[in-house]
Amino acid sequence: MIEVRELNKRYGRTTAVDNLTFSVRPGGVTGFLGPNGAGKSTTMRIVLGLDAADAGEALADGRRYTTIERPMHEVGALLDANAVHPGRSAYDHLLSLALTNGIGRSRVREVLEQVGLADVTRKRAGKFSLGMKQRLGLAGALLGDPAVLLLDEPVNGLDPDGVRWIRELLRSLAAEGRTVLVSSHLMSEMALTSDRLIVIGRGRLIADTSVRELEERF
């Protein structure tokens, strides 16, 4: 479960997150929808302990990752698909992540298979398309077999087959009982991907609804 309570964050004069409260339960895909600049990444970064809130709280399975290090088996994250060192192969990137996190090397092959990169494990990440980088980022998020997943715009750069693939993957991860929060700035995409929608704008909560409920009103 992810719990965000009265969260506030400013960068200088910009209010990125404005008294935001919501929770994400396990067992379904929750979409985090809002236009660019709405505060989605900032919220995720605070949950992950990569940025500090000015006020309020952000917890993943009851833990606050501001002071303790976040183990990969507790929370997996995809934040920026371009963050991988361009000179590294997909395999080496994941292996070093695995080794520094106490994860066995056999898991590297498993996640490469799972994200459809088994044939390009030796290729350098700098030569990857954006879609392949997203897959590699996702492999990193899945490496620790985490109970909670935060994925920031994972669909960006994927072709239609890739988009369909990721939808199914997200559903199966959620069906295993994981907590899955996926951000996007595309309403049409989120309606197809998610069971529940948390919509924000200018850092504030606009709507928190199940997709079925929303569809019934149309």
Residues of this chain that interact with ligand ADP (CB under 6 A) are: 11, 14, 16, 26, 34, 36-42, 145, 147, 176-178
Tally of CA atoms within 13 A in the half-sphere of 30 that contains its CB: 24
Q: Which of residues 111 and 211 has its CB atom nearest to ligand ADP in the complex?
A: 111
Burial class (CB in 10 A: 0-12, 13-18, 19+), 160: exposed
Distance CA 155, CA 130 (A): 10
Residue 129 beta carbon to ligand ADP: minimum distance, rounded to whole angstroms:
22
Q: Which of residues 51 and 89 has its CB atom nearest to ligand ADP in the complex?
A: 51
Residue 108 beta carbon to ligand ADP: minimum distance, rounded to whole angstroms:
16
Residue 29 beta carbon to ligand ADP: minimum distance, rounded to whole angstroms:
14
Angle subtended at Cα 35 by Cα 198 and Cα 13, rounded to the nearest 5 degrees? 100
Residue 153 beta carbon to ligand ADP: minimum distance, rounded to whole angstroms:
8
DSSP classification of residue 104 = -
Tally of CA atoms within 13 A in the half-sphere of 177 that contains its CB: 2
Residue 119 beta carbon to ligand ADP: minimum distance, rounded to whole angstroms:
23
Q: Tell me if residue 21 falls in helix, strand or coil.
A: strand
Q: Which of residues 120 and 174 has its CB atom nearest to ligand ADP in the complex?
A: 174
What number of other Cβ atoms are within 10 A of residue 186's Cβ?
A: 15
Q: Which of residues 126 and 175 has its CB atom nearest to ligand ADP in the complex?
A: 175
Q: Which of residues 27 and 86 has its CB atom nearest to ligand ADP in the complex?
A: 27
The dihedrals phi and psi of 6, each to the nearest 5 degrees, come to 45, 45
